[in-house]
Structure 1
Amino acid sequence: MISEQHQLMASQANSGARMTRRNFLQQTAALGIGGSAALTLLNACGSPLASSGTHVTYWNLFGGGDGVRMVQMENNFSQSHPNINLEAVTLAWGAPYYTKLAMAAAGGRPPDVAISHMTRVPIYASENLLDPFDIDELARYGITEDKFLPAIWQRAHYNGKLYTIPLDTHPFVLYYNTDICQKAGLLNADGSLKPLNSPEVLMDAFKRAQQVTGPGTFGLAAEAQAITAWRLFYTLYSQLGGEVLSADGKTLTMDDTKAEQVLSFMADLTLKSKVASPFQDYAGAVALFGSGKAAFHWNGEWEVTTFLAQKDLHFNMAPFPQLYDTYRVQADSHAFILPHQLAVDPARRAGALEYISYMLKNSQNWAAGGHIPAYLPVTESDAYKQLKPQSNYASVAANAVLDPIAWFSGSGSELENQAGAAFQGVFTGAMTSTQALQQFKAALQKLLAIPAFN
C-alpha cells in the first residue's frame, strides 16, 4: 500500500518542490527502508547514462519466460531504433516492484515508461503518481481508441483521463490433455472439447477423465491454495453476478448466498467428488498435468510455454467454461504507464511513446507466451489466429473481470492473499463454506478500515 509518507512525497512532487537527496533519504527511513537500500533506489532512478541519442528508461517486473521474451522484444526495438537508447530495468515481481515505482514517482526520479498491472493503475492515478496520456499525441503513433476492445479502453481511464495503454489480457483458462479426453469421450469429431456448460457437466467430465487415468490420478490439476483459489472463486462468483466491493472500493458488497454457492462447488472438487487434490500447490499442479496424471488444469495462460516444451504431452487450451448465468473470467492486463515527471522532457516522452507503439505493433511475439494482445490489429491478424493453442481463448478478453478497485486489491495483492488463506480451508475440509466466507469478509473489513488514501 501507499502510506502517509508516500502521500507526503507525492504532495511535494505535485507542488513542484524539488525533493533533495537528504529529504528522500529521510522519508525512505520513515518508511523503514535502510540507507543502503534507499541509496540503491535513488541511484536506480538517477540521471541517464551519457549517450548521443534520446535516452529512455523503462521499468518492468517480468521474470521467467515472460522476462526472456520481453528482453528479446527490447533488443529488437533497440536494433530498429538506433536513435533511442533504451535502458530497461527489471525489478522483483509484486509488492517490491510497486513500492519502488511509487517511491520513484513520488520522489521525482521515475523511469520514463513502466509496466503496471491494470488493476493497480486507478490507485496510483488517484495519488498523482502517474501522468495521463495525451490522446492527440498518441494518435501520431497509431495508438487510438479503435485499436482496442471497448471494455479494455474504458478500463484504461481514470476520472475521464487515459492513464494506461494496455499491452495484453492474461485470463484464467482451461488446459486439457487431448489423449485422455479422447479416450473419455469428451472431444468432438474435430478434436475440440465438448461444451462444459454447468457444474454438473463439468464434474462429470472430471470423473470420466479420472476413470481413464486410473488410481492415484485426478481429473483436475489445480492449486488448492493462494492466488489460484481466488481466481477460481472470483470467476464463478462473477458469473453469478456477485460483486465483492462497491465501485469506489470503500464498502463490502458480498452476496453471501452466491459466495457460498461457489465455495460449496469448490469443496465438492476435493472432498465429495475427489476429482482434485485438496493439498496441491502451484508447482505440483503444473507437474501433475504435465505428467499426464490429470486430464484438466486450471491456471493462467502463461504456462502454455511450459507445456509446449514437453514434446510427449498432447494438450490444448480453451476458455474457462461458463457454469453460471453470465460469462465472466478473472483476468488482469499488463499495461504501459507514464510515472509522474516533475518536468517532462519532450524528447524522452516522444521516445517512450515510440517504444510503446513498437511493443503494441509487435505484440505477436508477446502472444507466443500466452497473453492475449490488446492491440486489435494483432489479435485480428491471420498470424495470431494461426497461433495455436494461444489464440483459442482470445474471445475471453471481452469478458474479463478484473479484481475490484481498492488500495489492497490487484494482482499480487493483500486481497488475493487473504482470499487464498481463507478458501484453501474449503478444499481441505478445515472450514465450511460459511466459515471460510466469514474469515474472508472479516479480513476485508479490516483492510477497508485502514484509511490508506483518505
Structure 2
Amino acid sequence: MAGGAALGLLGTAGCAAPSGVAAGKTRLRYWHLFGGGDGVNMASLVDAFRAEHPSVALEATQLQWGSPYYTKLGMAGAGGRAPEVAVLHLARLPGFAPGRLLDPFDLDLLADHGVTAAQFPEDIWRRGEVGGRHYAIPLDTHPMVLYYNTEICEKAGLLDDAGPGGGSGGGGTLRPIRGADDFTAALRAAKKVTGAPALTTETLGPDSAGPWRLFATFYSQTGGTVLSADGKRLTLDDAKALKVLDYMAMLSAEGLLVRRTDYPGTVGVFNAGKTAFLLNGEWEVTTFTTSGLPFSMTRVPALFGRPTAQADCHSFVLPHQRGRDSGPTDANNEAAHAFVAWMVRHSVEWAKGGHVPAYLPTLRNPAYLRLTPQSAYRSVIDDVVLDQPAWFAGSASLLWIRLGSVFSGVLTGSRTPRDALREAKARLRELLDTPAPLGGTGGDAV
C-alpha cells in the first residue's frame, strides 16, 4: 500500500473532528466512488434521503475510483476514524479484514428498518458474511452484458420481428444465441453489413481489466473455477481455459473483433455505430441513451454451456470506528443502518444507470420494469459469478489488472493462448504466495 504517504493524506482529509453539523442533528459521513452517470444518480438518492430525514446531517464524499479509494478506505478503518458508512465492491470484502477494518452490521437493526436476508439472492447475500457476522449489504450487481445496435442487427437478419427493442432505437429484440458457433455466425452476418469487425470490447490500455472480465465470463460458463471456494488454492482448469482462450484468439484473428482498443475507444466505436455488438458492463447505458444511438441490451449468451456472466456488486459497509455501537456514537450507528436500508429499498433510481438491483422487491417494482432496456436483463441476477474470495480479487484489484494484461495479448494477437495460460497461472501463484497487505484472507498456491 502507499505506506506513510497515505497515512499523512488520511490525517488531512475526511477524518477531521466533527464541524459544521447543525445542533440536534446526527452526523452521518458517507464515502463512495461513483462518478459520471452513477454519480448523478447517487446524488439524487442522497438528496432524497436528506429530504426525508431532516434530523440526519448526511455528508456524502465522492473519492477517486479504484486503488486510491480503497487505499484511503483501508487506512481510515485501520485508524478507527472512518466515516460511518461507505461503499465497497463485494468481491473485495476478504481483503478488508472484516472485524478489524470493518465493523459488522446489526441485522436486527436493519430489520427494524425493513431490510432482511430473505429480500436478496442467497448467494450474493452470503458473500457479505465472514465468521458468522455480516459485513456487507449489497446494493446491486453489475455484470458484463451484450449491447447491440438494432439497425445493424436488423439489416443482418438478427432481430425478432415482435416486441420492442428497448434502448433508444426501438425495433425487434435480438434472436436467441445458443452456443459459440451461433454467436460467431451472428458476428459474421453483422460484419457483412458494415464491412468492419462486428464486436468491440476492451483489449488493451493501462491497468486494463476488460480482457480479464471477458475471460472470466466465458470461463465461468464452462463451470470452471480459478480459485478454490476459500480463495486459497489455484483450481484453474487448463482444458476449459484453453477452450475459452482459443475462442478469444479466433475472434481477433478472423477480424470479427476490433483488435486494438482501450476502454474509451470501445465506447466511442460502438457509439459511432461502427460495430454491431459491445461486450462491457451495463453501466454505459446512459452514454448510449443520451447520444440517441439505436441500441438495446441483453444478457451475455451462453456460449460455453452455462448462462453465467462475470460480475461484482456495489455494497455498503461500516468502516471500523472505535465504540461504534455504544456511547455518543450510538445515534450515528443507528443513522448508518437507517441510511443503508433506505438506499436498498429505493434502488429504482439507482437502476437507471444500468445496475441490477440486489434488493429483490425492486425487481418486481412496476417503476423498475418500465425502465428499458435496463430491466431486460434482470434475470442475470441468478447467474452472476463473482471472483472467489481472496484479498487480491474483486473490482480494480491486482487479479483483474495482472491477468488482464496477460489476456490482452490473446485479443491483440501478441500472445498465444497456451503462453497466456502459462503466464496467468504463474501470476496467480505469485498472488497466492503474497501476504494480504491489509490483513485480509490469502492462500497458498498448489
Q: Taking structure 2 as the reference length, what is the TM-score of the superposition?
A: 0.91
Does residue 396 of structure 2 align to residue 412 of structure 1? Answer: yes
CA contact (8 A) 1:125 1:163 kept: no
Q: Does 1:332 align with 2:312?
A: yes
What residue number does 1:51 align with? 22
Alignment partner of 1:161 out of 133, 156, 163: 133
Instruction: Specify the SS of the correspondent of 1:175.
Output: strand
Aligned pair in 2 of structure 1 residues 442, 150: CA closer, same or farther (>3 Å)?
same
Q: Which amino acid aligns with 2:259?
A: P
Secondary structure, aligned partner of 2:316: strand
CA apart distance, 1:48: 2.0
**1:183-262 map, 5 Å:** 183-190=155-162, 191-214=172-195, 217-225=196-204, 226-262=208-244
**Mapping 1:12-411, distance limit 5 Å:** 31-33=3-5, 37-41=9-13, 44-49=14-19, 50-52=21-23, 53-126=25-98, 128-190=100-162, 191-214=172-195, 217-225=196-204, 226-271=208-253, 273-311=254-292, 313-344=293-324, 345-411=329-395
Task: Provide Cα deviations, 1:20-70, integer angstroms capped at 9, x if missing partner.
Answer: xxxxxxxx8xx24178524324xx212222322111111111111111211
Aligned structure 1 segments of 4 or more residues deviating by more than 3 angstroms: none
Once residues 300 and 387 of structure 2 are traced to their aligned partners in structure 1, the CA distance between those partners, rounded to angstroms, is: 17
- Indicate conservation of the 8 Å contact 1:220/1:296, yes or no: yes
> Distance between the aligned counterparts of 1:428 and 1:302, measured in 2?
25
Name the amino acid aligned to 1:270: S
**8 Å CA contact 1:125, 1:158 repeated in 2:** no
Consecutive unaligned residues of structure 1, counting only runs of 5 or more, are: 2-27
User: Which SS does the other structure have where 1:294 is aligned?
Assistant: coil
CA distance in 2, matches of 1:137, 1:37: 34
Partner residue, 2:165: none
Q: Which whole-Å CA distance do the structure 2 matches of 1:132 and 1:404 have between them? A: 21
CA distance in 2, matches of 1:35, 1:194: 54
Aligned length: 420
Which residue of the partner structure matches residue 167 of structure 2? none
Distance 2:9 2:107 in 1: 37
Counterpart in the other structure of 2:429: 445
Higher helix share: 1
Q: Which amino acid aligns with 2:367?
A: A
Q: Structure 1 CA distance, aligned partners of 2:122 and 2:423?
A: 36
Deviation at 1:450, TM superposition (A): 1.3
Equivalent AA in structure 2 for residue 265 of structure 1: Y
Unaligned runs of 5+ in 2: 163-171
How far is the alpha carbon of 1:280 from its aligned partner? 1.3
Report the AA paired with residue 152 of structure 2.
I
TM-superposed CA distance for 1:342, in Å, is 1.0
Change (3 A) 1:162 1:36: closer
Question: CA–CA distance in 1 between the matches of 2:107 and 2:339?
Answer: 16
Residues 173, 298 of structure 1: 8 Å contact kept: yes
Cα displacement (A) at 1:122 = 2.4
SS in 2 for 1:423: helix
RMSD: 1.5
